[in-house]
Amino acid sequence: MGKVRVAAFSVSLDGFGAGVRQDLENPLGVRGMELHGWFFGTEVFQRIHGEGSGTRGIDNDFGERSFENVGAWILGRNMFGPVRGPWEGDSWKGWWGENPPYHVPVFVLTHHARAPLVMEGGTTFYFVTEGAEAALREAKEAAKGKDVRIGGGVSVIRQYLTAGAIDEMHLAISPVLLGEGEHLFSGINLHGLGFNAIKTVAGENATHVVIGKG
């Protein structure tokens, strides 16, 4: 049976998973892109975006594993784009162009209904208005026994964490101090939720921490 997991999620040294004031110019909030510097130069990132050969090593290995055995994704609306309020047709199709890097069904949490959006490469975005529990139920069904990856953002991960729905998390701790933004674990008792550290590995540009239940 597949897991519900978070993978390759970047966090600053002071615990922030995104910056403030997300907009078209700052898709991850102000200075949010700094959190992902460990990933941008890797072979897996360059291959996904068709930009070059990239580097191999520990960071790349963790990036590669984050896509393994994933049968469906869940994203918050902010992760899909900076659009607010009711959708205006299909003008916004995400940050990733016509061929997003998911290649499986992706369930987007939103308060505003929208028809499914079929993209190239096997990605279809489904817009779920019934809440996080409904999105997870639909994602598990679509995953057909594979893992469901909770892609973020921070508020979505926190929601599934507090509901006890996440089995495993891989966090990439970036050597960055944001000072402000969206804090990933503020007010959440991970130990009380049953999590323990499974693995800690120093990569080239981030420290990789895997926590899980049991």
Distance CA 199, CA 62 (A): 12
Tell me which of 195 and 52 has the higher pLDDT.
195
For the stretch 173-183, pLDDT in tens is 999 999 999 99
**Residue 47: predicted pLDDT:** 92
**Letter for the amino acid at 196?**
N
Within-domain flag for 194: yes
Residue 209 has pLDDT above 90, yes or no: yes
What angle (nearest 5°) sits at the alpha carbon of residue 120, between those of residues 115 and 126? 25
- The CA–CA distances, whole Å, from 125 to 35, 84, 93, 119, 134 equal 26, 17, 9, 8, 15
Mean pLDDT of 173-201: 97
Q: Of the candidates 146, 214, 165, 143, which has an alpha carbon nearest to the alpha carbon of residue 2?
A: 146
Q: Of the candidates 141, 39, 48, which has an alpha carbon nearest to the alpha carbon of residue 100?
A: 48
Q: What is the CATH number of the domain that holds 189?
A: 3.40.430.10
Within-domain flag for 97: no
Asked if the peptide bond before residue 89 counts as cis, ω within 30 degrees of 0, the response is no
Residue 186 has pLDDT above 80, yes or no: yes
For the stretch 31-74, pLDDT in tens is 999 999 999 999 999 998 877 789 999 999 999 999 999 999 99
**Residue 90: predicted pLDDT:** 83
Mean pLDDT of 89-109: 92
**Residue 158: predicted pLDDT:** 98
For the stretch 8-30, pLDDT in tens is 999 999 999 999 988 888 888 99
Within-domain flag for 96: no
Residue 214 has pLDDT above 90, yes or no: no
Distance CA 18, CA 63 (A): 19
The answer to which of 78-92, 101-115, 134-148 has the lowest mean pLDDT is: 78-92
Within-domain flag for 145: yes
Q: Of the candidates 102, 87, 82, 80, which has an alpha carbon nearest to the alpha carbon of residue 149?
A: 102
**Residue 99: predicted pLDDT:** 93
- Per the DSSP assignment, residues forming a β-bridge with 42 are 55
Mean pLDDT of the chain: 95
Within-domain flag for 110: yes
Residue 168, both tokens: 């495993």
For the stretch 149-163, pLDDT in tens is 999 999 999 999 999
Within-domain flag for 98: no
Within-domain flag for 95: no
Torsion of CA 175, 75, 51, 58, to 10 degrees: 40
**Letter for the amino acid at 132?**
A
- The CA–CA distances, whole Å, from 139 to 7, 29, 71, 160 equal 16, 27, 8, 13
Which residues, at least 6 apart from 30, have a Cβ–Cβ distance to it below 8 Å? 19, 20, 21, 181
In the chain, beta strands by DSSP E: 4-11, 16-18, 70-76, 105-109, 117-118, 124-128, 147-152, 168-173, 182-183, 195-202, 207-213
The count of domains in the chain is 1
Within-domain flag for 59: yes
At 193, the pLDDT band (50, 70, 90 cuts) reads very high
Parent domain of 130? 4-83+103-208
**Residue 83: predicted pLDDT:** 81
The residue behind tokens 């975005």 is: 125
Q: Could you tell me the pTM of the whole model?
A: 0.95
